[in-house]
Chain A
């Protein structure tokens, strides 16, 4: 009989081996009861919210002659990252951004309207970022940084969405290979001249 880890390992292989060693090791530790399951805040998304993230990600990196964000698996990546790697302030501001777009019926708008809404969101975010950075620089020297951070408002939704979409896309197997020349083992370091239309290297 297959245990949970084997099942997950099997699943990961079917999905193209996307689970890293640390993750598998973490699963193994989880089974042995060595670590508690941590929910890391109450972050969870409805299916409608998932669709909304997918649409925003695809607006940032649309399908052209290369795959778009959705094809590269960015929406699930964004959700996982916000769930696993961000603390409550970011999770809350991320959620606030989604809810705002839901209230504006983002998903039912025309493409041109969506673009306008996101342009406005980007402009608003720039203002928010100015305030965010002022707060950052006011953080004291010997204050507990983590406590200070948790009291701050998280990075705005659009900023998180853009960063995670770019990261998720350009480091995905499809996104990276479609846009760059993947060179896992360069074997040398050379100064070269860029040729017109040359693909950049990714490592």
Chain B
């Protein structure tokens, strides 16, 4: 066994962070910077920033199957492949092998995982938005789920802190529905996109803005100090960035935490259980299984942050039983594993754009447009569904790929394919999902994985609200493309989409005011085991419709500072 521990032979730390992804990275950064010795535990293999992005700088012809995936790899990654494009020839080695990490589905759940250093933060879409103030009041207002124990204002300083650290390119719009972040320079809209923005403003009075994206349009000194550089506009982010230009745990939080010399990272180490101490009424540590050797080791700490990814964090709580918590750590409310939310997507519209024939771009923009929520907002009242959705999309000029569906072959066809085709434009919605206690995961009572840990069983599906919203998401997208004067408009509403496909899975250990109906308090502490903090997506009491990572990170930083404060005050 090759344990990378030299600083503490007794396996004792101030803090343990389970997971190295989007929130695990921030937890480790904030805790180490506050002076704590931290052990970060990652279940997957080690990926070294830059060094291990082995396809990042390859030319198209050096990617053997040219971004397609082999049947063999696709079969191994049966769940990941439901997303379609994520596991490609160039990225497949970073996507979890579902055949080796199976799960069960009472109802279909599209579970997309990336078990390695940095987790999904290496592959995320990088769209980064603040929630708005009413998002935190939505549950209280319409009665779905439980009320958030915090409000927007309490997160503002943490949003700002994270935005500065992460680096977000975007344009300030001063919209209540989409509060501005602290921005780096915005990326430009293409001329057809500018036309679209102007027409939607004029005809429908709806704002359209350039996407807010975690790519360094202009690296700041604190970014370059961590070895990060400005975006080179290759748009190959998903392979890992050799410039560290988009934010990932690998490029940002982990290097920052390492700089303190107070971070140890354990790889290939699956946390099977959080160990509870009946005497102190606190968690005392974690039991870890090495994924290759099956060796079991215990690690101990004063506080434990769970950032394993929403679904795995809930499963870990459920698997951590004791006489105090026979149904899983912190599960007296029976809410652990329930209220699975996500954003439903795969619905929108496309059209073709006439004109703009001499407009072209140099470079590839790793970003698109954003249309903020306009439904059930302001004076808009929908009768068929609650809450709302946003759109992401934009305009592109077609290239040789159009030739597949086009007639012709031979010399003139070849020549034509070297010229740009028409512009096309399309938008897809991201819809809010209501919390529903019947959308849940449990642990299998009969089946275990190869490490002896019970398999997760998913039993969740979209409800009437989501299905009704989707109809409007398609129709409204078509309406907007029409308002802008685009042609050949076709709507789409994929029917083979399940919870999980948005890869914004969340909600399985929700925050709340009442321990009887929630798992975590307003500082993300497990109600009855206060030295355990859950700060990944599991903590979410509702889902908003904007991309969630920034909110997860803000909650994590806030909880980490609170935890250190409580340790200093000897409350923890």
Residue positions of A touching B, CB distance < 8 A? 17-23, 25, 35, 38, 40, 59-62, 64, 66, 80-81, 84-87, 115, 118, 122, 126, 139, 141-142, 145-146, 159, 162-163, 166-168, 170-173, 176, 179-180, 182-194, 199-203
Task: Point out the residue from B64, B187, B360 that lies within 8 Å of A192, measured CB to CB.
Answer: B360
Q: Which of B493-508 contact A (CB under 8 A)?
A: 495-496
Roughly how many angstroms separate A168 CA and B417 CA in the complex, as a whole number? Answer: 13
Contact across chains for B403 and A194 when beta carbons are under 8 A apart: no
User: Count of chain B residues with Cβ under 8 Å from any Cβ of A?
Assistant: 60
Contact across chains for B420 and A85 when beta carbons are under 8 A apart: no
Contact across chains for A170 and B417 when beta carbons are under 8 A apart: yes
Contact across chains for A167 and B66 when beta carbons are under 8 A apart: yes
One digit per residue, 1 when the CB lies within 8 angstroms of any chain A CB and 0 when it does not, for chain B 51-71 equals 000110111111111101111
Task: Point out the residue from B61, B360, B408 that lies within 8 Å of A173, measured CB to CB.
Answer: B61
Q: Which residue of A lies closest to B191 (CB)?
A: A191
One digit per residue, 1 when the CB lies within 8 angstroms of any chain A CB and 0 when it does not, for chain B 338-361 equals 000000000000000000011111
Cross-chain pair count, CB within 8 angstroms = 157
Roughly how many angstroms separate A172 CA and B495 CA in the complex, as a whole number? Answer: 36
Contact across chains for A191 and B190 when beta carbons are under 8 A apart: yes
Q: Which residue of B lies closest to A85 (CB)?
A: B68
Give chain B nearest CB distance to A80 CB in angstroms: 8
Contact across chains for B404 and A190 when beta carbons are under 8 A apart: no
Give chain B nearest CB distance to A166 CB in angstroms: 5
Contact across chains for B59 and A22 when beta carbons are under 8 A apart: no
Q: Which residue of B lies closest to A198 (CB)?
A: B360
Residues in A with CB closer than 8 Å to B233 are 186-189
Residues in A with CB closer than 8 Å to B364 are 186, 189, 203
Give chain B nearest CB distance to A23 CB in angstroms: 5
Q: Jot down 29 A-B pairs with beta carbons below 8 A, ordered by A.
A: A20-B55, A20-B62, A20-B64, A22-B54, A22-B90, A40-B70, A40-B71, A85-B68, A118-B409, A142-B108, A146-B78, A162-B404, A163-B404, A171-B61, A184-B57, A185-B234, A188-B233, A188-B363, A189-B187, A189-B361, A189-B362, A191-B191, A191-B360, A192-B361, A193-B358, A193-B360, A194-B359, A200-B419, A203-B235
Residues in A with CB closer than 8 Å to B54 are 21-22
Give chain A nearest CB distance to B486 CB in angstroms: 19
Give chain B nearest CB distance to A113 CB in angstroms: 14
Task: Point out the residue from A23, A172, A183 that lies within 8 Å of B61, measured CB to CB.
Answer: A172
Residues in A with CB closer than 8 Å to B357 are 194
Contact across chains for A166 and B410 when beta carbons are under 8 A apart: no
Give chain B nearest CB distance to A65 CB in angstroms: 10
Task: Point out the residue from A20, A118, A190, A200 that lies within 8 Å of B89, measured CB to CB.
Answer: A20
Is chain B's binding surface mostly helix, strand, loop or mixed? loop
The 5 closest A-B pairs by CB, nearest first: A186-B363, A189-B363, A171-B60, A21-B54, A60-B409
Q: Which residue of A lies closest to B189 (CB)?
A: A191
Contact across chains for A166 and B403 when beta carbons are under 8 A apart: yes
Residues in B with CB closer than 8 Å to A62 are 410-411, 414
Residues in A with CB closer than 8 Å to B191 are 191
Roughly how many angstroms separate A118 CA and B54 CA in the complex, as a whole number? Answer: 41
B415 part of interface (Cβ distance < 8 Å) = yes
Roughly how many angstroms separate A17 CA and B63 CA in the complex, as a whole number? Answer: 11
Q: Which residue of B lies closest to A60 (CB)?
A: B409
Q: Given A191-B361, A200-B419, A186 and B68 touching (CB < 8 A)?
A: no
Which of B57, B60, B187, B420 is packed against the most chain A CB atoms within 10 Å? B60
Contact across chains for B64 and A23 when beta carbons are under 8 A apart: yes
Q: Given A81-B65, A170-B417, A191-B191, A202 and B60 touching (CB < 8 A)?
A: yes
A-B contacts besides A20-B63, A191-B190, 5 pairs, CB < 8 Å: A59-B409, A66-B414, A122-B407, A179-B418, A191-B359
Residue positions of B touching A, CB distance < 8 A? 54-55, 57-66, 68-72, 78, 89-90, 92-93, 108, 187-188, 190-191, 232-236, 357-365, 399-401, 403-404, 407-411, 413-415, 417-420, 495-496
Roughly how many angstroms separate A165 CA and B89 CA in the complex, as a whole number? Answer: 18
Contact across chains for B187 and A84 when beta carbons are under 8 A apart: no
Roughly how many angstroms separate A22 CA and B239 CA in the complex, as a whole number? Answer: 12
Residues in A with CB closer than 8 Å to B66 are 167-168, 171
Contact across chains for B399 and A200 when beta carbons are under 8 A apart: yes
Residues in A with CB closer than 8 Å to B495 are 141
Roughly how many angstroms separate A106 CA and B71 CA in the complex, as a whole number? Answer: 31
Residues in B with CB closer than 8 Å to A180 are 418
Contact across chains for B234 and A186 when beta carbons are under 8 A apart: yes
Q: Which residue of B lies closest to A40 (CB)?
A: B71
Residues in A with CB closer than 8 Å to B404 are 159, 162-163, 166
Q: Which residue of B lies closest to A72 (CB)?
A: B61
Residues in A with CB closer than 8 Å to B413 are 60
Q: Given A62-B410, A166-B400, A191-B359, A141 and B496 touching (CB < 8 A)?
A: yes
Contact across chains for A85 and B363 when beta carbons are under 8 A apart: no
Q: Given A173-B59, A179-B418, A166 and B71 touching (CB < 8 A)?
A: no
Roughly how many angstroms separate A40 CA and B74 CA in the complex, as a whole number? Answer: 12
Q: Given A64-B415, A162-B409, A194 and B72 touching (CB < 8 A)?
A: no
Roughly how many angstroms separate A126 CA and B406 CA in the complex, as a whole number? Answer: 10
Residues in B with CB closer than 8 Å to A80 are 64-65
Residues in A with CB closer than 8 Å to B365 are 189
Give chain A nearest CB distance to B493 CB in angstroms: 11
Give chain A nearest CB distance to B61 CB in angstroms: 4
Give chain B nearest CB distance to A42 CB in angstroms: 13
Roughly how many angstroms separate A30 CA and B71 CA in the complex, as a whole number? Answer: 16
Q: Given A86-B71, A122-B407, A162-B404, A186 and B64 touching (CB < 8 A)?
A: no
Contact across chains for B362 and A19 when beta carbons are under 8 A apart: no
Roughly how many angstroms separate A179 CA and B415 CA in the complex, as a whole number? Answer: 9
Contact across chains for B419 and A20 when beta carbons are under 8 A apart: no
Residues in A with CB closer than 8 Å to B409 are 59-61, 118, 122, 162
Residues in B with CB closer than 8 Å to A59 are 409-410
